[in-house]
A and B are shown apart, each in its own frame.
Chain A
Amino acid sequence: MIPAQDVLAPAGPQAAQIHALWQLMLWMCTAVFALVVAAAWIAVLRRRRDVLEPLQGADTPAQSRRVARIIGIAVALSALGLAVLIVASIGTDRALAGLPHDDALHIELTGHQWWWEATYDSVDPSKMFTTANELHIPVGRAVIFTLKADDVIHSLWVPNLHGKKDLVPGRTATHLIRADTPGIYRGQCAEFCGYQHAWMSLLVIADPPDQYAAWEARQRQPAGEPPDAQAVRGRDVFERGTCAICHTVEGTRAQGKHAPDLTHLASRMTIGAVALDNTPANRAAWIVDPQRFKPGVNMPAHNLPAEELGALLHYLETLR
């Protein structure tokens, strides 16, 4: 079960900083609002009492001084409050940028209409691997995202971990996060990017370091040989049909680069960028008519013969 994204439940230092600033601003602004409303009420009630009294002439010098003092105190309080907010904002910004990241994990995240491509970087090119829409990160270790966009402007937002950052075509941006609590964190494209913007989601799964290492080691492996004849047939359908022209399965001839990498498809929780649970039935429905679930998605409908579809689904199930 995927928990809802929640900006009020920080799971890492970045989100915690932003959350603390938000709390400060919320309560300070609430207090200011309450004070202003109270002052307004006092003024209203005083005015009503004044009306009953006969009009006096000009203010006495004592009254003028009192008014000046009250205005002075109010201005000073406002300035102090604003200064506190400015200092807190700057402090939060510095804290966000100052997250220690010497041993950071580097992930290049590219936004496409309407899915996320993630390439885990490494100084050793043979250790790099690509996945899509479902990122695993180790708990307690900083992650530096290098953000790119393939077509239009997207925005990365994983509320439990950090604020938003735009992905702009032709430019790169970086985003520094760390998760301190293991869990599944839902993310969402936060910049309108077309028909299926609402279904451009991703999952960030924070694992304990040993679990993450195991996941990473498995992701680095190419797809193995199909275990049985039907899976071989399924791979043939994949390689020789339309799948391979857009999708990649490492270790096979399918090397398309315009759709999610499917090397470890069956190990993911969802398909279609968190549009559907990753069950065999949903995979079948998606292949046959993806437009039913995400109208406008670039994946075309496939009217495959039952035998080919069955073999293909069987093969996809082996991509763990």
Chain B
Amino acid sequence: MILDRAIVLFVLVAIGVAGCERERRDFQTPPSGAQATRSLRMTDITPGAPEPTSSARNPLEENAFALAQGKRLFHWYNCNACHGDGGGGSMGPALMDDVWIYGSEPANVFATIVQGRPNGMPSFGGRIPDKELWQLVAYVRSLSGQVEKTTATGRDDSIMVKPGENRMDPQKPVQATPSSASEHP
């Protein structure tokens, strides 16, 4: 009986402590992007046996503050001009759907922002510091429900054109080729 209570208490405390991490604000330690993009490839053809592509996690995806900052930067850096407010898409492809042209993993999104992509995506390499890039990556992935609902942002600073990112159902990423993607921008 006492053991049961202790276990329940332990679980409750563990949940509470995990919840604290969600709001943690690390101002001093910028994550480095170099490691994550090292194994990133633009083609499936490899010498020798096939290797899995990078699946580096983005620790900032588990942090509500980082996601909120990413959302702010999404507007500051004018991403919404092409990808639409809330990722609905306009000149650029929509980010709230399941279609990914250049990969959905955090490292893929990071590389897409840093390197730029054909047909209009500018290269932001050298323009945005690593930490801010990872915040953006986290937010971009949250647009299609790729991060936990408990950390995704819930409100806009302006009129909401769609439900908050924390209400997006996770979309299973579908890989599109650049040419097929142009059919549904």
Count, chain B residues at interface, CB 8 A: 13
Complex Cα–Cα for A295 and B128 (A) = 19
A interface bracket (residues with beta carbon within 8 Å of B)? 10 to 19
Report the minimal beta-carbon distance from A264 to chain B, rounded to whole angstroms: 23
Q: Which of A244, A245, A295 contacts B27 (CB 8 A)?
A: A295
Q: Does B127 contact A (CB under 8 A)?
A: yes
Q: Does A222 contact B (CB under 8 A)?
A: no
**Given A151-B157, A246-B76, A291:B28 Cβ within 8 A:** yes
Report the minimal beta-carbon distance from A239 to chain B, rounded to whole angstroms: 11
Are the CB atoms of B157 and A241 closer together than 8 Å?
A: no
Are the CB atoms of B126 and A240 closer together than 8 Å?
A: yes
Question: Which residues of chain A have C-beta atoms less than 8 A from B157's C-beta?
Answer: 151, 169
Are the CB atoms of B30 and A245 closer together than 8 Å?
A: no
Complex Cα–Cα for A83 and B28 (A) = 57
Q: Does B25 contact A (CB under 8 A)?
A: yes
Q: How would residues 222 to 256 of chain A score, 1 for a CB under 8 Å from any chain B CB and 0 otherwise?
A: 00000000000000000011101110000000000
Are the CB atoms of A242 and B129 closer together than 8 Å?
A: yes
**Given A246-B76, A258-B76, A296:B27 Cβ within 8 A:** yes
Complex Cα–Cα for A258 and B128 (A) = 13
Question: Which residues of chain B have C-beta atoms less than 8 A from A301's C-beta?
Answer: 30, 129
Complex Cα–Cα for A242 and B127 (A) = 4
Report the minimal beta-carbon distance from B114 to chain A, rounded to whole angstroms: 13
Q: Does A302 contact B (CB under 8 A)?
A: yes
Question: Which residues of chain B have C-beta atoms less than 8 A from A241's C-beta?
Answer: 126-127
Are the CB atoms of B126 and A242 closer together than 8 Å?
A: yes
Q: Does B131 contact A (CB under 8 A)?
A: yes
Q: How would residues 25 to 49 of chain B score, 1 for a CB under 8 Å from any chain A CB and 0 otherwise?
A: 1011010000000000000000000
User: Could you list 5 further interchain pairs (A-B, Cβ under 8 angstroms) beyond the known A242-B129, A291-B28?
Assistant: A169-B157, A195-B25, A241-B127, A242-B127, A295-B28
Are the CB atoms of A245 and B77 closer together than 8 Å?
A: yes
Question: Which residues of chain B have C-beta atoms less than 8 A from A246's C-beta?
Answer: 76
Are the CB atoms of B76 and A300 closer together than 8 Å?
A: no
Complex Cα–Cα for A300 and B25 (A) = 14
10 A-B pairs with C-beta separation under 8 A: A169-B157, A240-B126, A242-B126, A242-B127, A242-B129, A245-B128, A295-B28, A296-B25, A300-B30, A300-B129
Question: Which residues of chain B have C-beta atoms less than 8 A from A195's C-beta?
Answer: 25
Q: Does B98 contact A (CB under 8 A)?
A: no
Are the CB atoms of A245 and B127 closer together than 8 Å?
A: yes
Complex Cα–Cα for A296 and B76 (A) = 17
Report the minimal beta-carbon distance from A255 to chain B, rounded to whole angstroms: 12
Report the minimal beta-carbon distance from A171 to chain B, rounded to whole angstroms: 14
